[in-house]
Structure 1
Amino acid sequence: MRAVEVDGSPASITGLTSALAEALGGGPAVLPYASDALRDAMEPTRPAEHGTAVIIATSGSTGEPKGVLLSAAALAASAHATHARLGGPGHWLLATPAQYIGGLQVLVRSLLAGTTPAAMPTSGFRPDDFAEAAAPLLALDGPRYTALVPTQLGRLLDAGGAGLAAARAFDAIVIGAAATTAGLRERAAEAGVKIVPAYGMSETASGCVYEGVPLDGVHVELEEERVCITGDVLSHGYRLRPDLTSEAFEGGRFRTSDRGRWSADGRLEILGRVDDMINTGGVKVAAAAVERILTAQPGIRDACVVGVPDPEWGEAVVALVVGAGCDVDSLRAACREEAGVAAAPKRVEFAAELPLRGPGKVDRTAVRNLLRRS
């Protein structure tokens, strides 16, 4: 196994791309990392599991280190299906950390397309840096793509100027790692930015459902609302954790931790995590449903809803929102009207931004701890 440190520098991206090319061709498995603790948790001195090309080390939603095992075939299947959906192989801009699956797949897609990816600093997203990194790529012929998280897209839309102009010039921008709110979709459409919201995870070698439609070769089933996925894009397990592997992967399918439903036009809608239900006074409230209502209100850019211990209700529904000029009573009334009395947050607090874990994922544990302290 080859552990490759990824610090966002051009040299580290070049080194990772070279190691990745060898792994896809049958060479040593690659463990990209930015955290020494996660690297050590993967025990890089021990041989990689059979058939593994890449190990994605992640702390997961629980904070427990896990290593997702991906074969060369799974990575290639995801890359080819993505190109088929977007409009063919093209040139990619790396704008998210390459130790995570979203960024790593930008490198895989570029390798399989025979193109050289452009890259921007990943130590802090600035619209001007995005425009500068994109300029050489946008001068090339053929499809031009990038992958962003919702927070990055929001910053481009807020800033306008050269960054937004560059975003408009891409043939497609895949938006992943976190849910794309209806408000963000509308803002992107009004600004002329062509986004493709994607759903997926490390275990599916990146996004496997685009705009609610599974990629070619991917099949989605709902098991009592739980999203279950089969297809060539799947991981074959977790690093040194046969117990987690047998629990999540059974009969050739991956049982996710997400709840979903089919819309009237046959598209997959993600309702939130299986474990994000809040039991308040004996009534179960889906945190994701309340978040969708809040982010649909004027002035609200983002929201995270969690349950905190409450002596009267067992759990109280509370919300941390990003926005300005918002009336708390109006926000609570909207939730009460659309989802029932129990869904109205007992408390709403405001922040300049939500705490994040990884590339654009909201750190729900940090939000819960913050709201419990307050």
Structure 2
Amino acid sequence: MSVPLGTWPAIHAHRIPDRPALVDGDTGRLVTYADLEERTTHLATALRERGVGPGDRVAVLSLNCPEMLELVFAVAKLGAITVMLNFRLTAGEIAFILKDSGATLLFATTSLEETARTAAEDSEVREILTLATAQERRDGVRAGFDALLDSAAGPDAPDLPEVDPESPVVLMYTSGTTGRPKGAILTHSNLFWVSLYHNSIERGLNQLDVNLAVAPLFHIGALAVYTLPGAYWGACTVVLESFDPETWAAAVERHRVTKAFAVPVMWGAVLQSGATDRHDVSSLDVAISGGAPCPLPVIEGLLAKGVAFTEGFGLTETAAAASMLPSEFVRSHAGSVGRPMPHVEFRVVDAAGEQVPVGEVGELLVRGPSVSPGYWNRPDANAEAFRDGWFHTGDLARVDADGLYHLVDRKKDMVITGGENVYPIEVEQVLYGHPAVAEVAVIGAPDAQWGEAVTAVVVRAEASAGKSAGSAGTTSGAVDDETGAAGGAGAAADEALAAELTAFARERLAGFKVPKRFVFTDALPRTATGKVRKVELRSAVGGQESMVSR
């Protein structure tokens, strides 16, 4: 039987009360499992006094901090639902989610309070409570969260409700790049099962492990890869407010971190910074990358550090972990997302819903106990995505003869050029093999002759030095393969590199897959979770009059 999320701290408060559950990586404050149970129970009491009950929604707009996780457990104890908000959204975007979810209480980091108040103006939110920033916590500043916790402190154990494991516990909204965001419902049972899966990843997970949470916790990868599973198994999670390679490596050394999740751009920044040479990171036994394919040079760099590096695949709708590639296959099956997790099933089907043969491309379908029951108040989207017990991911994939799955691309990102289908991931992985390429995104740009022209947006290796992960750059020269024309500063250099990359790609790809156009930029626009914003790229590149051509 599934175990409700809110009971996890109590289980370990009896088993291992003095073991660390959470560590504030920015201040050093430690919370044991006994502390976690006491604090989250008091929080649940205080929330109930403010009218929060089963099924109610409590929104959290916060930078990473241990208090975020305490809120998730406290809300779960009441049978209520935490709505995780992306702090990089605009007030208008947050307002939509607050209205759609019907959240009645909102927690916000003090630095985000103005945005929170603007977003909540026309919503059901009755009260906004603040969370302290890392600097404020170091300075001893107390926020609304602390006052709330103090208000319910007392010796008496409250009478908390019995919670149905199949009821919703977290709402996470999709990015909404193809329309308005959808709130994916995650149940207690979904998060219980995904926690069980983690014991099948590499060396497993137990109370002696230390996880480093530095990717944004509003994202399913950071929350459900090692962080919540660690709480289920009695491990410790160190929380950092934000990512910086030096701070990350120092935290690994200081806390003897054994497990860490990050997106590829973060792993690349760690390696490029040289921070792992200045700090002892030998305690790290498993590194997981997710959210996007990890370039092979980054994988090789981490393996050279003696880390068991593995890539996983999952979506918000699958509670993050759906498949995992064992570390022994990361070289021999580079680009694969591995095999499904225990109790998870995959199918690759054609447009008629029939399973395709090995090696052929089709849409990936997922079924299992960690899969969301659907979207919040979206019967239309549910009818499209959740059919006959299967979740239709919208990802194109193939399975190889060894039973390993390879994501080919999102349906919407596939480029159709001259009647041929080109999957950007395949082209990107080839271009990543060139030493001059730090980052690359392949898109389709409108073309009168071909319908779409395969277009590579490239960040040069030297241009990426010193750039922050996720920053959006501006395009410089663009070169068109059809005309040879180049525009902007450094046109000659753009032309030369475009020629070099074209030759490199032609040795490794069919001719129709080789980019016809190259655009050079300082940085790729990314989401808070490291995914490239290809919609923005298509818009920007489509409006350029000159391209570098080979």
TM-score (norm 1): 0.89
Gap regions ≥5 residues in structure 2 = 1-55, 105-123, 125-165, 326-337, 351-361, 463-495, 545-550
- The 5 A counterparts of 1:115-126 are 115-122=235-242, 125-126=243-244
SS of alignment partner, residue 101 of structure 2: coil
- Give 1:264 deviation, angstroms: 3.2
Q: Flag the 1:62–1:114 CA change in 2: closer, same or farther, 3 A.
A: same
Report the AA paired with residue 458 of structure 2: V
Note if contact 1:278-1:317 (Cα within 8 Å) is conserved in structure 2: yes
Residue 306 (structure 1) aligns with: 443
Summarize the Cα distance change of 1:243–1:120 in structure 2 as closer, same or farther, 3 Å threshold. Answer: same
> Counterpart of 2:339?
213
Q: In the superposition, relative to structure 1, how do residues 163 and 244 fare at CA in structure 2: closer, same or farther (>3 Å)?
A: farther
What one-letter code is carried by the residue in structure 2 that aligns with 1:260?
A
2:511 equivalent in structure 1: 341
Q: Summarize deviations over 1:87-110 as a string: whole Å, max 9, x none.
A: 222321111111110122243123
How many aligned positions are there?
A: 364
Contact 1:121–1:129 (8 Å) recurs in 2: no
- 2:102 is aligned to 44
More displaced, 186-195 or 313-322? 186-195
- The one-letter amino acid of 1:287's match is P
Moved more, 36-45 or 219-228: 36-45
User: What does 1:161-200 correspond to in 2, within 5 Å?
Assistant: 161-162=275-276, 165=279, 167-200=281-314
Number of the residue aligned with 1:290: 427
Give the conservation status (yes or no) of the 8 Å contact 1:205–1:234: yes
Aligned mates of 2:344, 2:78 — CA distance in 1: 24
CA distance in 2 between partners of 1:114 and 1:26 (Å): 22
Match of 1:327 among 497, 516, 524: 497
Is 1:354 paired with 2:524? Answer: yes
Aligned to 2:508, the other structure's residue is in SS state helix
Change (3 A) 1:52 1:174: same
Compute the displacement of 1:54 (Å): 0.5
Alignment correspondent of 2:533: 363
| Corresponding position of 1:4 | 59
In 2, distance between residues paired with 1:218 and 1:209?
8
Matching of residue 204 in structure 1 with residue 262 in structure 2: no
Within 2, Cα distance between the matches of 1:107 and 1:286? 33
Indicate how the Cα distance of structure 1 residues 283 and 164 shifts in structure 2: closer, same or farther if over 3 A, else same. Answer: farther
Percent identity (aligned): 27
2:32 is equivalent to residue 32 of structure 1: no
Assess if the C-alpha contact under 8 Å between 2:59 and 2:103 holds in 1.
no
Partner of 1:108: 228
Whether the aligned pair in 1 keeps the contact of 2:210 and 2:237 (CA below 8 Å) is: yes
Opposite residue 32 of structure 1, the aligned amino acid is M
1:134 aligns with 2:248: no
Counterpart position of 2:349: 223
Indicate how the Cα distance of structure 1 residues 159 and 256 shifts in structure 2: closer, same or farther if over 3 A, else same.
Answer: same
TM-superposed deviation, 1:166: 5.0
**Greater mean deviation of Cα atoms: 17-26 or 30-39:** 17-26
Superimposed CA distance per residue, residues 151-170 of structure 1 (whole angstroms, 9 cap, x where no aligned partner): 11001111113577455431
Equivalent residue letter for 1:230: R
Q: Does 1:74 align with 2:190?
A: yes
Counterpart check, 1:85 vs 2:222: no
2:390 counterpart of 1:249: no
Change (3 A) 1:277 1:58: closer
How far residue 185 of structure 1 moved from its aligned partner, in angstroms, is 1.5
Residue 17 of structure 1 corresponds to which residue in structure 2? Answer: 69
Q: 2:205 touches 2:235 (CA, 8 Å); kept in 1? A: no
2-structure distance, mates of 1:181, 1:60? 26
Q: Which has the higher contact order (CA 8 A, sep 6+)?
A: 1
Q: Kindly indicate whether the alpha-carbon contact (under 8 Å) linking 1:130 and 1:163 is maintained by their aligned counterparts in 2.
A: no
Deviation at 1:138, TM superposition (A): 0.7
SS in 2 for 1:356: coil
User: Aligned equivalents of 2:445 and 2:415: distance in 1?
Assistant: 9
Match of 2:171 among 55, 65, 73: 55
4+ runs deviating over 6 angstroms: none
Partner AA of 2:215 in structure 1: T
The equivalent of 2:150 in structure 1 is: none
- Post-superposition CA distance 1:3-30 (Å, at most 9, x none): 23242253xx31x212322455562111
> Secondary structure of the equivalent of 2:168?
coil
Native 8 Å contact 1:118 1:134 kept in 2 = no
Q: Is the 8 A contact 1:57 1:65 kept in 2?
A: yes
- Tell me the amino acid that sits aligned with residue 239 of structure 1: W
In the alignment, the residues of structure 2 paired with residue 324 and residue 136 of structure 1 have an alpha-carbon distance, to the nearest angstrom, of 31
How far apart, CA to CA, are the structure 2 residues paired with 1:324 and 1:128? 20
User: What RMSD over aligned residues (CA atoms) do the two structures have, in Å?
Assistant: 2.4
Gaps of 5+ in 1: none
Deviates more, 1:241-250 or 1:176-185: 176-185
Q: Please, what TM-score do these two structures have when normalized by structure 2?
A: 0.62
Deviations 1:41-68 (A, max 9, x none): 5332489xx8211001222442521111
**Mapped partners of 2:542, 2:222: distance in 1:** 34
Post-superposition Cα deviations, 1:290-327, rounded to whole Å, max 9, x if no partner, equal: 11221122332321111111222221111111234883
Call closer, same or farther: CA 1:55–1:292 in 2, change over 3 Å: same
Work out whether residues 60 and 82 of structure 2, in 8 Å CA contact, stay in contact via their aligned partners in 1: no
Matched AA of 2:252: A
Moved more, 321-330 or 29-38: 321-330
Q: Does structure 1 retain, via aligned residues, the 8 Å contact 2:64–2:214?
A: no
1:272-283 aligned within 5 A: 272-283=409-420
Aligned CA distance change for structure 1 residues 154 and 45 (closer, same or farther; 3 Å): closer
Separation (CA, whole Å) in 1 of partners of 2:363 and 2:238: 37
**CA distance, structure 1, for counterparts of residue 294 and residue 275 of structure 2:** 22
Give the deviation of 1:338 after TM superposition: 3.2
Distance 1:240 1:164, change over 3 A: farther
SS of residue in 2 equivalent to 1:232: coil
CA positional deviation for 1:209: 0.7
Alignment check: 8 A CA contact 2:58 2:103 kept? no
Partner-residue secondary structure (3-state), 1:245: helix
